[in-house]
Structure formats: C-alpha cells, structure tokens
Amino acid sequence: MAEDGTDGDASFDDESTTGPTPVGVKLGSTRTILQFYDGDGDLQTVRTLTCLATYEDALTGDERVLYGEQAAQEYPDRVEYMLRSGLPEDDDGAESAKKFFSELVTANGLDGDSAVVYAIPTIDNEPGLRNLNRVIEESPVGDALVRSFPESLCGAIPAFGDDLEAIDSVFAAVNMGSTNLEASAYRHGEQLSPFVSGAVTGNEVDRRIANAVEEETQGRVNIDLTTAREYKEEHADFDDFEAFTDVIQQPGGGSHEFTIERSVMEPLDDYLDDAVDEVANNFLAQLANDHMKPYQLALSKPIVLTGGMACIPGIVEEFETRLSEELNRDVECISADRPDLAPAEGARRIAERLVK
C-alpha cells in the first residue's frame, strides 16, 4: 500500500520487475509525487509536502534532515518550502531541493538502478529549469536515464487511457497549478504555443479565501494561508458545497465558533472565470494564430485539465460549461481520476517505455 493509499496497477507489473526501476517524479511547489513499482511489483505512489527542516542531533551534534509533513508539523517555525515559485531560483534553493529529494527517494528505497522521468512546468526560466535538472541529476536515482517532459503532457497521459495514447494525439491541456496557470497544445508529443499566467493560481485563491473569511466573520477570524488551502481542499465543491463550521482559540482563553458560507466558493468562482478568460482569449487565440489546423483538431478533442486545482469536485464540468459559453461552441473537458497525481503517473509510464 502506498503512502496515499494507492494500490498496484497490474497493467505494468511484468515490465517493472526486471531492469532499472522506472520512476515518475513531479516536484511541485506545494507537494511532490513519486510513482514507481517496488521490489514486489506493487505500484507505489508517494505524496508529500515539498519542504524540509534541519536540526542538530542532541547526542552527536550531526545535522539531521526531516522532510514533508513531519518537517512541517515538528518545525513549523523554520520549515523551508524551497520551490514556492515552482523552480529552485538560486544555488541555495537548488541545494535545499537536492537535500529534500535525496532524503525522499532514499527513504522510499530507490537507488541508482532506476530510470527517472520528471515533469517540468511551462515557465520561461532557464536558470530555474537547469537548477531543477541538477536536483534530479545529482540525486541517488537515475543512473539508467534522466529525462524531463512538460507537466501538462505527463498529466494528460492518464486522462487518455491506460497507455501512452496522448503522445500520439493532437490535443490541448490546461494545468491548474498552485503557482501558475499553464496551457499548451500537443501534436504527437510536440509542444505548441505554450502559455503561462502567474495571475490565475491556486495560491491566489488561498489568499482570497483568507481575506474573504475575515470579511465574512466581520474581522473576528483571521486564518493563515495553510488553513485557507485546507478549507479549499476539504470543502470546495462546485456540485454540492455545504457550509461548514470551525473553531478558533481566542487570546486570553475561550474559543469562537464560526460558520463559512461564502468565503470558499466565491474566490473559486472568480478563479474559474479568470481561468476561462485566460484560456479562451489568450492561449487559444494565440494557438489559432500560430497553428490553425492543430487548433481546430485540438478543439475537436477533449481538453485535459491537470494540476491540484482540477481535483476540486465539479470544476472540470464547470470549466467545460463556461469555456463553451465563452467560445460559443461546444467543447469537452476531461481529467484523470487524480489530477494531482497524474503528472507523476504519466512520467512513470514514459520512463517504462524508454526503458523498454
């Protein structure tokens, strides 16, 4: 059983028991995903916070490293989220990310006898992408090979089926991430008209939720961005949102119970309108200008939504409805069963094909 409760997928068991271990990686600004087959042929999916904390061993004085949820819970005052912008921005960030990734893969029994494919964001930041490559290349894994592919392509692969059908297709994908909204068309794996917006993001939704909670409670409740993200992930639902209550401890003792009715879905409603506007009037308009025939083919196929924001119940269908209205034509939108895990799963499938 994997860390997130995902069991094995038998479709690739025979391929994963000999030769280098294919590993799919998504190093995200908030969470990192690994997917691979273990020595027993069981598919493992590891999902953890992209953060670390160091401390001094009380007995030996040696530096010790914690990562993920344990680091965030035990050292909240000095935990480091080194990929907040989506990529390691400088040498210090790259070193922290390398330390985090090395601890993660070692803890999960992975070594150099592996083939690693990792998903990369659509960001015009060559130094950051080089730093990310360094993080993977200098880790204990990937002696057989290390390759990178666009995150939205990797995330689209599970949405198309059980193999690599997406690689042989012409389609468009939208990655609804924490730090960016990304969109690209793909023609047999070739990326066309890549688009990125830093204005429409999951992180911005979290900030708006925090502000909306303060407003809805008339200033009595202030929540941090971590709590806002938890509200979004646990309660947001475009199909059937229900108001919920929470309790905070007040200075000087006592507690205050409050109810949230509008503060989660109103920011998400605005986010979806903004995302549709960016996709319809910027990305698709540019794609049509650059590549008219692929544009027409892509709109005749389902548009794939990936990324953590695509996990919100009902958002795929609502995005489809609003985009159809904006374009004044019917479009279909799909996603993988777990859009947040899909980039690592797609990367793992690519790694398997490359190993073969």
Domains of the chain: 21-156+339-355 (3.30.420.40)
Q: What is the pLDDT of residues 144-178, one digit of tens each?
A: 999 999 999 999 999 999 999 999 999 999 999 98
Tell me how many helices (H) and strands (E) the chain has: 12, 14
Mean pLDDT, the chain cut into blocks of 10 residues (356 residues total): 45 56 94 94 95 91 91 90 86 92 95 94 86 93 95 96 94 93 96 94 95 93 90 96 90 83 97 97 97 96 95 97 97 96 97 94
> What are the start-end ranges of the H helices in 244-291?
265-278, 284-290
From CA 342, how far away is CA 309, in angstroms rounded? 13
List, in order, residues 6 or more apart from 209 with CB less than 8 Å away: 223, 228, 231, 232, 263, 264, 267
pLDDT at site 61: 87
CB-based burial label for 62 (10 Å; 0-12, 13-18, 19+): exposed
Q: At 50, phi and psi to the nearest 5? A: -85, 80
Q: What is the pLDDT of residues 87-114, one digit of tens each?
A: 888 889 899 999 999 999 999 999 999 9
- Would the pTM of this model clear 0.75, i.e. be above it? yes
